[in-house]
Each structure stands twice: as structure tokens, then as C-alpha cells.
Amino acid sequence: MLRFLLVSGGGMSGLGKGISSSSVGQLLQYAGLAVTYVKIDPYLNRDASRLSPYEHGEVFVLADGTQTDLDLGTFERFVGNVGLTKLNSLTGGRVMETVREREAAGYYQGATIQVVPHVTDIICERLRQAAQTPVANADHATPDICIVELGGTLGDIEITTFLEALSRLQQAEDVQLHHIHVGLCPSTAGGLNHCGSVKTKPLQHSVRYAWQAGLPPSLVFARCGQILGLDTRRKIATTCRLPVEDVVSLHQVRSTYQVPRLLWEQKVHERLVHKFDLTHQVSANLRIFAQAPPRAPVPAPADQVVTVGLAGKYTTAEDAYLSVRKALEHSGYVHSVNVQIRRVQQEKDLVGCHAVLVPGGFGVRGVVEKLAAIRWAREHQVPFLGICLGFQLALLEYAQGVRGLRFRSAEIHPDQKYSAADPDVPFLIVKRPGNDQESLRVGAHPVCLDATSRAGRIYNHRPVVHERFRHRYCVDPAVAQDLRDVIVGWSQVTDVAGNQIPEVMELTDHPFFVAVQFHPEFVSTQRAASPLFAAFVAAAKVQAGLD
């Protein structure tokens, strides 16, 4: 029997379907079930790699190199490494690509290709495949439940095909499907405000869409600013044809990591286990879990604050660096400090910062400001962490500012002469071979570390660590020979000349100055903060005089 838990949203986007899916996944995992996850994005892009961070937030990278929506990152942060792959990310573009590939291969044998059944069949196949893929952190057991988050909102024209596919899927004899609908219950004071009375009409209307699609909700999560009263829940239950215990108050909390506790208090896990008829399988775990709620991180005292300056290209978009923000939050829990992130756009913004972070990015825009932030952190002995592009710029800044060496980057000034007086300044940063798609190095790769370095100590003296990458440009190992005194990490694989590519640098005469080519934020979770981010926040805490 394949079990699917659909999570949809209505009323407006951004209500918290991703947080709800991940929180439910964590509860079911604590109850002793193996859980996996699929994110459906109806847009016709093949994947998230070229989507604007201003509109969709960051591009999250899975271990197999799949570039996905940020909700898959949210799920990994809540549930841990369940072995998500390209099977767990389904876009409208990828579905249509499969249709075209099958047509070209003669799969349809001259039949007229239609949305039903040809497109819907591909969607069902992909969901079935994901639901049968073993879960990494459950001893590679077959998933008990596959959580399917449907992007967009009910009523959007883009998701019509996916709703039809899900409706057809639930009719299969070997499938059991239940549906959680996250709907909006705004306040008369505006949005999710704590004041005013709660209005249920938007939720009622979005639930009507679910009924029309043949997918009536099994539970309703009412997204609201304040705790729903019993009378309001009864009203929703009546209009949605549900028992009152299946209406869940999803109100505002201080941290997203408190949502699992919020759902546990309303016995969401017990309701789901009962609906999927799995009580006999996890009865012992449920009895234990009833006395031991999920632990929410303990917030630090209000006066324990460190300020981290974030000098990035997309700092005006809150979700563009979501994994970085969450990794800092995880590390703040480890060291009992509140990490306050300050957007850095010019050098004066750095004054008062206890640490500086330059994240990844592509392109020239903002490079001057990032180089200035790196120089300021180096000269003022303020803890610094550089990621991806931040690593390349840190190496350039050190070479020019400390060693007096003149290098340039193929990304920053690919066709420009460095100066009229000296046009032959070598490229320290070069593009990897191939076109834009072929040159992109993405996914988890091994990194060799100098065990005696600060980075080596941060990673517990492990000679090789596996981290996730997403970059098109890299350091030329031949040109970087003059900088080998600050390079403490290299790729395990070599370039065509047999040289290992530099991927980690640090300064020994600085409180904390480390830069890496990889993205450590992608593996940081609520339960296990990234070692590099944890060390960075520890250094910031010392800088703030809180240690």
C-alpha cells in the first residue's frame, strides 16, 4: 500500500505549506514512521536553477546535484537527511519534457497526446516512484508515508493538471491518500494580526476548490494570527464537513521550529496515524511520544545578541539566503546567542558588526562592496566567513591587499584588460570547461583538508569532508601557487594537469578568517548545526564580549 499525504494551500501564497509539511514530517518521524517528501512546482521551468531569487528565494541544492525549490531545504532542516534526490522535485517543465522525450522515442505510437491520461500518468508515475524510494535515515526502509506539497494555491490555473493527477491517483486500489489543506483565516485588524476577530470565509472558499477537485481535506490547518477559539473551529468544521478535532489552529509562533510542538499539542500525528490505519504499527512509539513532546530550541536571553553583517547581492529579498539565515539561527541555538543579521550595502553598515559574512552569488553586481567588506573584516580583525563567490573574492582581496599580487577573475572582468599599463595580469579565478550548463559544478563532493588548520580542527580533524557545491568558476591551481600558504583545503579530484583545486582558505593571524568554495549552509539542520557556521558564530560571540 502506498500512502500519500497531500499538503495544499489556499487564499494566498506564503502561508506556510512548506513549514507545515516539514513539521508534520518531523512528528510522523518521531512517531516511528519512515517519511519522504515530494515538492510539486507547477511552473514550466525545468528546475529552479534560473529562477529569480527575488521572486522564488534561494535555489537549494540536493546531494545528487538537483537544484530545487527552497522547501526541500526546509524539509531537510526539520527531518534530516532522508536522501532526497531529483525524484523528490517535480516541476511542470520536467513533466512536459518527459512527454516530449517519450513522443520522440515513439512511446505513444502515433496516439494523440492529451493531458488526460498521458500527462497525468507521468505525474502519477513520478509520485509512485518517489513513494517507493528507500529513506536514508530510516535504515533505507521503504517510506510509510510520502508527503506531497503542492506549490501555488488552489484555484490557480497552473495546478489544474496536478490536481487531476492526484485525484486519479487516490482512486488506485494500492493507494491511500489524505489531504491537509492550509487555508487563510485573516484578522479584521489586517492579515495575521493578533488583534481583531478572525474571519473564516477565505478558508471556506479555498476548501470548496478542494472539494471541486475531488480531493476533500482530511485535516484543515487554519493559518491565523491568534489561537482559534472552539467556536471558530466548530464553525470551520461544520462548513468543511470535518470533525472539530480535524481543524488545527496554525497561529503565529516565535520560531518556525516551534510549529512541530504546536501541532503535537493538537494531536495532529495521532489523527494522521489513525487515518492511515497505522496505529498498530507505532502504538508503542505513540505512547512514549505522548509524554515526550518534540523539543523546540530554547531561545537565548534577550541581551545575548551578536550582529552579523551580510554582504550579498540579494539581501533585500528575505528568502534569497534562507539557508544561510537558518544556519546562523542553528548556530545561535548551539551557543545561546541571538544572531541578528544586518544588511550591508556600504562600508558604514559594517560599524558595530561582530562578524561579516559574504555568501555565494553569480555576476559582477555588488562585487566592489563585497571586496570592501572583506577588507574591512581583515583589517579590523573581525570574524569573517566567505562562501562560494565570497571565497574567491577573499582570495583576491588577500592577494592584492596583503601580498601585493595582481590577479583578476574571469567572472568579474572576462574581456577587459586589467590596466592599460599591465594588460597581462593573470586570471586567478577561471571558468570551468564547457558551456554554462556543463561548467556548473553542483551537488555533494569530497573536500580534502589540512588536519592541522583551523578548518581541519572545526571538522574534527577529518581528512575528507563531503559538502555541497554550486559554482561555475574556480581557482586556477597553477596561478594560486603563490598563495599556497593560506590554502588549507583542496578538491579530491584533480584538473587536467593533475592539480588539486583550492577550495578552502584561512588566515592564521586573524581571530577567524575562513572562506570556502562550498555551501556549508545546505547541510545545516535544527538537530546538527553546520560545524563551520557554529565556529563562526562562536568567534562572533567572543568578538561581542559575550563569551
DSSP letters, 461-480, are T-SEEEEEEEESEEE-TTGG
Say if residue 265 is in the same domain as residue 327: no
At 417, list the grid cell. 584588460
Domain closes at, from 237, 269, 291: 291
Of residues 62 and 426, which shows the higher confidence score? 62
Furthest-apart CA pair in the chain: how many Å?
A: 79
Q: What is the DSSP letter of 300?
A: P
Place 469 in a pLDDT band, splitting at 50, 70 and 90: very high
Say if residue 332 is in the same domain as residue 383: yes
Cα(133)–Cα(141) distance, integer angstroms: 8
Q: Is residue 224 part of a domain?
A: no
- pLDDT surpassing 50 at residue 417: no
Cα(136)–Cα(81) distance, integer angstroms: 7
Place 194 in a pLDDT band, splitting at 50, 70 and 90: low
Mean confidence (pLDDT) of the chain: 92
Total structural domains within the chain: 2
**194: annotated active-site residue:** no
- Do residues 332 and 361 make contact, with C-beta atoms less than 8 angstroms apart? no
- pLDDT surpassing 80 at residue 346: yes
pTM: 0.94
Cα(374)–Cα(390) distance, integer angstroms: 8
- pLDDT surpassing 60 at residue 120: yes
- Give pLDDT tens digits for 478-529: 899 989 999 999 998 877 677 899 999 999 999 999 999 999 999 999 889 9
- Do residues 431 and 412 make contact, with C-beta atoms less than 8 angstroms apart? no
Q: Is residue 238 part of a domain?
A: no
The residue count of the chain comes to 547
**519: annotated active-site residue:** yes
Say if residue 393 is in the same domain as residue 529: yes
- pLDDT surpassing 50 at residue 537: yes
Q: Which amino acid is at 249?
A: S
- From the list 146, 240, 388, 474, the catalytic residue is 388
Q: Is residue 80 part of a domain?
A: yes
Say if residue 272 is in the same domain as residue 390: no
Q: Is residue 526 part of a domain?
A: yes
Say if residue 358 is in the same domain as residue 280: no
Cα(79)–Cα(28) distance, integer angstroms: 10
What percentage of the chain has pLDDT greater than the value 90?
A: 78
At 40, list the grid cell. 510539486
Domain closes at, from 236, 265, 291: 291
Mean pLDDT over residues 274-302, rounded? 86
- Do residues 336 and 304 make contact, with C-beta atoms less than 8 angstroms apart? yes
Q: Is residue 437 part of a domain?
A: yes
The helix (H) or strand (E) run that includes residue 208 is helix 201-212
Q: Is residue 219 part of a domain?
A: no
Minimal CA–CA distance to 23: which of 229, 286, 296, 305?
A: 296
Mean pLDDT over residues 194-215, rounded? 88
Say if residue 459 is in the same domain as residue 530: yes
At 215, list the grid cell. 480531493
- Give pLDDT tens digits for 238-248: 999 999 999 99
The per-residue pLDDT for 433 is 84
The per-residue pLDDT for 191 is 60
Domain closes at, from 269, 291, 313: 291
Pairing outcome for strands 60-61 and 247-251: unpaired
Of residues 201 and 425, which shows the higher confidence score? 201
- pLDDT surpassing 90 at residue 134: yes
The per-residue pLDDT for 419 is 47
**467: annotated active-site residue:** no
The per-residue pLDDT for 422 is 53
Say if residue 311 is in the same domain as residue 278: no
Mean pLDDT over residues 86-90, rounded? 97
Packed helices 70-79 and 17-30: angle between N→C axes, nearest 10 degrees:
30
Say if residue 264 is in the same domain as residue 373: no
Say if residue 346 is in the same domain as residue 284: no
- pLDDT surpassing 50 at residue 101: yes
CB atoms within 10 A of CB 440: 18
Mean pLDDT over residues 257-270, rounded? 94
**CATH code of the domain containing 120:** 3.40.50.300
Range of the domain at 449: 305-543
Say if residue 67 is in the same domain as residue 151: yes
Place 378 in a pLDDT band, splitting at 50, 70 and 90: very high
The per-residue pLDDT for 435 is 81
Minimal CA–CA distance to 79: which of 10, 14, 136, 4?
A: 136
- Give pLDDT tens digits for 418-446: 444 455 788 898 988 888 778 899 999 99
- Give pLDDT tens digits for 139-191: 778 999 999 999 999 999 999 999 999 999 999 999 999 999 999 998 876 66
- In the sheet with 219-224, reading across from the earlier edge strand, the strands are 89-91, 35-41, 145-150, 2-9, 175-184, 219-224, 247-251
The per-residue pLDDT for 421 is 44
Cα(373)–Cα(379) distance, integer angstroms: 10
- pLDDT surpassing 90 at residue 23: yes
Mean pLDDT over residues 387-404, rounded? 95
Q: Is residue 110 part of a domain?
A: yes
Say if residue 133 is in the same domain as residue 270: yes
Q: Is residue 196 part of a domain?
A: no
Say if residue 433 is in the same domain as residue 539: yes
**CATH code of the domain containing 425:** 3.40.50.880
The helix (H) or strand (E) run that includes residue 159 is none
Place 195 in a pLDDT band, splitting at 50, 70 and 90: low
